[in-house]
Amino acid sequence: MKRVSLLGSTGSIGTSTIDVLNAYPDRFELISLAAGRNTDLLLKQAQKLRPKRVYTAENIEYVTNQLKPLGIDVVHGDKGLEELAADTDVDLVINGLAAGVGLRPTLAAVQKGTDVAIANKETLVVAGHLITEWAQKTGSALLPLDSETTPLWQSLQDTDRNDVKRILLPASGGPFFDWTKEQMASITRHQALNHPTWQMGPKITIDSATLMNKGFEVIEAQWFLDLPVSKVDVIIHRQSIVHCLIEYVDLGLMAHLSTPDMRLPIHQALVHPEKLPTQIEPLDLTKVGTLSFFEPDTDRFPCLQLAYDTVTMGGTAPTALNAANEIAVYAFLEGRIGFLDIPTIIRQTLEDHKTTPATEIESIFVADHWAREHAQRLVQKHQQ
Ligand code: MG
């Protein structure tokens, strides 16, 4: 029986994960749940699944009053989230938290030697080298939870990395795939939140529309897959049916295909190395008909190139990238800046950032804090 802590239980990863866990009640025991703002759903989940502990970011008193009679402890604050992740009665932490809040609980779990399944890309983008280093020391396993990275990670388990010429990460291209730059200047929040194939939280949906999400996947692929970024390419694939491709040195390509359903990569990671049946819709290629692929356009979608650039810059550059992106995306969601201001603010933050070696977590926190404040100032300048 694997004892699980699910962080971000009310988000899209969290609810899909609960479906997967529920399919195997004899394999997984849910120890704790953590959620941010969706108190109603958190309470429903806790009442049904009866974890030992629950973290809530909001409505602390109300949640405590509701759950205490059921014998469920309620924790809150930064420390509360880290406590859940570092609990000694947890074997696996599933990190489905949104954006920057995912880092500290992952660190707490890894330092304890607990395995962590990570959907929260930001964590490995800012501190991938430190987390993988610690995980090696403590014996904690890091499992990717993503439609591209999970099947790649699984397929490459016993592959000599010298046999791999490159991997290809498909990106749907988002809702503005064929828009001109002029059209893109007036993109609204509503248009940007309308992703063609995946239903996700607002932050990652905007990251998908700018292609920053794919940039983050490129950066985290090196840590999860132990491959240099020079071997990680991105291809636009509109149908989201092909989830990853591996090109071997002999130029043969292996692809992983399925209907787009996040429960599949979550299932694959959680039952690894076994293959077990799932309830997802089978893929009927005759109904799909056509699969199309395009080169990504980094002129209209500069965020992807900015992500690659930070790998070359090294040190705290990916931290600054992530921090500036988070500030710019939330500013866009609040209607304070335009869609095309997002990459402009990130680029300017990177240009102004004095990259330092990220050999300690403290230097990452310092760079993160600086980049957030700097990006905030740039947002004010761009504010409409
Ligand atoms: Mg993905």
Cα–Cα nearest to 207, from 333, 71, 351: 333
Q: Which residues are bridge partners to 171 per DSSP?
A: 236
Find the 152 Cα to ligand 1 centroid distance in Å. Answer: 11
pLDDT digits (tens, 9 = 90+) for 113-130: 999 999 988 899 999 999
Ion ligand 1 — residues with CB under 5 Å? 146-148
Question: 164 CA to middle of ligand 1, Å?
Answer: 21
**Interval between CA 74 and ligand 1 midpoint (Å):** 32
Q: What pLDDT sits at residue 102?
A: 81
- What is the distance in A from the centroid of ligand 1 to the CA of 353? 28
pLDDT at position 48 is 97
Average pLDDT, the chain: 94
Q: 148 C-alpha to center of ligand 1: Å? A: 5
- Cα 380 to ligand 1 centroid, rounded to whole Å: 31
Q: Mean pLDDT across the stretch 189-206?
A: 82
For the segment 215-225, the average pLDDT, to the nearest whole number, is 96
Of 253, 226, 101, nearest to 170 by C-alpha is: 253
The Å distance, Cα 277 to ligand 1 centre, comes to 22
- Please give the pLDDT value at position 73: 97
Indicate the pLDDT class of residue 78, thresholds 50, 70 and 90.
Answer: confident
Q: Are 373 and 365 in contact (CB under 8 A)?
A: no
Going by C-alpha positions, the residue among 336, 339, 319 that lies closest to residue 377 is 336
**Per-residue pLDDT tens digits for 24-47:** 999 999 999 999 989 999 999 999
Residue 316 CA to ligand 1 center (angstroms) comes to 23
pLDDT, mean of residues 274-281: 93
Q: How confident is the model at residue 384 (pLDDT cuts 50, 70, 90)?
A: low
Tell how far the Cα of 172 is from the centroid of ligand 1, in angstroms: 9
Interstrand relation of 253-257 and 242-248 (parallel, antiparallel or unpaired): antiparallel
d(CA 44, ligand 1 centre) in Å? 28
Please give the distance, rounded to the nearest whole angstrom, from the Cα atom of residue 70 to the centre of ligand 1.
37
Query: Residue 88 Cα, ligand 1 centroid: separation in angstroms?
Result: 31
- Alpha-carbon distance 181 to 194, whole Å? 18
**CA–centroid distance, residue 381 to ligand 1 (Å):** 32
Please calculate the CA angle 212-121-291 and round it to the nearest 5 degrees: 60
Report CA(251)–ligand 1 centroid distance (Å). Answer: 24
- What is the pLDDT at residue 121? 87
Residue 198 CA to ligand 1 centre (angstroms)? 10
Ligand 1 centroid to Cα of residue 115, in Å, is 21
Cα-to-centroid distance, 282 and ligand 1 (Å): 20
Report, in angstroms and rounded to the nearest whole number, the Rg of the chain calculated over CA atoms. 20
φ/ψ of 5, rounded to 5, equals -110, 125
Count Cβ atoms within 10 A of the Cβ of residue 378 and give its class: 0-12 exposed, 13-18 middle, 19 or more buried.
buried
- What 3 state SS string does the chain have? CEEEEEECCCCHHHHHHHHHHHCCCCCEEEEEEEECCCHHHHHHHHHHHCCCEEEECCCHHHHHHHHHHHCCEEECHHHHHHHHHHCCCCCEEEECCCHHHHHHHHHHHHHHCCEEEECCHHHHHHHHHHHHHHHHHHCCCEEECCCCHHHHHHHCCCCCHHHEEEEEEEECCCCCCCCCHHHHCCCCHHHHCCCCCCCCCHHHHHHHHHCHHHHHHHHHHHHHHCCCHHHEEEEEECCCCEEEEEEECCCCEEEEECCCCCHHHHHHHHHCCCCCCCCCCCCCHHHHCCCCEECCCCCCCHHHHHHHHHHHHCCCHHHHHHHHHHHHHHHHHCCCCCCCHHHHHHHHHHHHCCCCCCCCHHHHHHHHHHHHHHHHHHHHHHCC
Q: What mean pLDDT comes out for the span 244-259?
A: 98
> Residues of the chain with pLDDT > 70: what percent?
98
For residue 146, how far is its CA from the centre of ligand 1 (angstroms)? 5
Residue-wise pLDDT tens digits, 132-161: 999 999 999 999 999 999 999 999 999 999
pLDDT value at position 101? 78
Residue 69 CA to ligand 1 centre (angstroms): 40
